[in-house]
């Protein structure tokens, strides 16, 4: 979708909003899949309500893009613009045991930044790609850690109230790969409370998690992490593996040889290929195990 109206472009400029025309979302997603649209970059949180009112007034649909690491975007010209926060500098501010982190901050870099201030707890999240905002929305987790445990405050754009709000950690429910945020709420910043730990000890924890991840996940390849949530008490990866589906493909969309819940773009995979592979694998698991796997990956249809 293109923003062409000169008057709108000029007001957006006044709000400090940068519009990059016809950006390929394949280049902004870890899967390397996705069509084109205008990228609307936000430099000041406070302008978001006005920006969204303007877009609505002009009939321009939008979606919020984080780090693009858990996202499958449709092919071709997209019927919405993508909104993205510009990363402020600094994006992590430490005060005692609290870290105030901008939603646009890189999650891995946040883990190491906190570690350097002897703040631990986040070691398990070290290899999870994406932004802190994305991790917050999905309650990202790995190796026994989930981000929600440490959240004390969240600044967000509340879609229903159409304004910026601050929520206390106790007002948010964090479950396995799920939170009580509405789908169109936009994460802006978070205050984490982290346990004190010596830097060397945190580094050791980080090393162990990195090794485990390297041993079991296809890190060098284009993927969106795990495609399906694990069903209660089970493992989607193990079930897909047991069906002998490692290496199974539709076009260049392929079930990883290393971890069967990772689907990789082995070349020029399209969203259509990837969606067909997801649906095929889901059907096969359903037939064999009578379990309906739910997507963990977020899908943006055209």
State residue 144 phi and psi, 5-degree precision. 80, -5
Q: Which of 41, 226, 258, 296 is catalytic?
A: 226
Smallest gap from Cβ 140 to ligand EPU, in A, equals: 7
**Given candidates 84, 110, 230, 265, which one binds ligand EPU under the rule CB under 6 A?**
230
Q: Which of 41, 113, 254, 259 binds ligand EPU (CB under 6 A)?
A: 259
Active site residue 109: no
DSSP 8-state class, residue 76: S
Residues between 106 and 145 with contacts to ligand EPU, criterion CB under 6 A: 142-143
Distances from the Cα of 138 to the Cαs of 1, 115, 121, 131, 183, in angstroms?
A: 27, 23, 18, 11, 10
- Name the one range near ligand EPU by CB under 6 A: 28-36, 161-169, 253-261, 271-279: 253-261
In this structure, what token pair is assigned to residue 192?
């984490």
Contact between 284 and ligand EPU (CB under 6 A)? no
Rounded CA-CA distance 224/138 in Å is 13
With binding defined as CB under 6 A, does residue 245 bind ligand EPU? no
Residue pair 103/136 in contact (Cβ under 8 Å)? The answer is yes
Q: Is 178 a residue that touches ligand EPU (CB under 6 A)?
A: no
Other beta carbons within 10 Å of 214 = 13
Span from 20-28, 160-168, 256-264, 266-274 in contact with ligand EPU (CB under 6 A)? 256-264
Q: CA 161 to CA 178: how far, in whole Å? A: 21
CB 277 within 8 A of CB 261: no
Residues 89-108 that bind ligand EPU (CB under 6 A): none
Active-site residue 137, yes or no? no
Measured from the Cβ of residue 118, the count of other Cβ atoms closer than 10 Å reads 17
294 is catalytic: yes
Interface residue list for ligand EPU (CB under 6 A):
142-143, 216, 225-226, 229-230, 235-238, 241, 259-261, 296
Catalytic residues: 177, 226, 294
């Amino acid at each position: 979708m293109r923003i062409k109206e000169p008057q709108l472009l000029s007001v957006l400029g006044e709000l400090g909003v940068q519009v990059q025309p016809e950006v390929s979302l394949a280049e902004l997603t870890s899967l390397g899949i996705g069509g084109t649209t205008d990228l609307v970059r936000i430099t000041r949180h406070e302008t978001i309500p006005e920006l969204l009112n303007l877009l609505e007034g002009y009939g321009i649909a939008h979606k919020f893009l984080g780090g693009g690491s858990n996202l499958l975007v449709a092919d071709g010209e997209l019927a919405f613009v993508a909104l993205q926060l510009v990363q402020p500098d600094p994006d992590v501010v430490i005060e005692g045991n609290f870290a105030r982190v901008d939603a646009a901050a890189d999650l891995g870099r946040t883990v190491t930044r906190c570690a350097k201030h002897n703040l631990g707890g986040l070691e398990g999240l070290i290899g999870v790609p994406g932004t802190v905002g994305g991790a917050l929305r999905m309650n990202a987790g790995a190796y026994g850690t989930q981000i929600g445990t440490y959240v004390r405050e969240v600044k967000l754009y509340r879609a229903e109230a159409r304004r910026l709000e601050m929520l206390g950690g106790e007002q948010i429910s964090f479950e396995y790969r799920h939170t009580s945020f509405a789908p169109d709420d936009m994460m802006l910043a978070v205050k984490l409370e982290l346990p004190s730990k010596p830097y060397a000890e945190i580094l050791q924890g980080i090393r162990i998690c990195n090794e485990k991840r390297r041993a079991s996940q296809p890190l060098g390849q284009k993927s969106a992490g795990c495609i399906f949530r694990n069903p209660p008490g089970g493992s989607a990866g193990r079930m897909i593996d047991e069906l002998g589906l490692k290496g199974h493909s539709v076009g260049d969309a392929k079930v990883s040889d290393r971890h069967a819940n990772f689907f990789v773009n082995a070349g020029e995979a399209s969203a259509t290929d990837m969606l067909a592979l997801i649906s095929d694998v889901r059907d096969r698991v359903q037939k064999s195990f009578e379990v309906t796997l739910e997507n963990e990956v977020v899908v943006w249809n055209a």
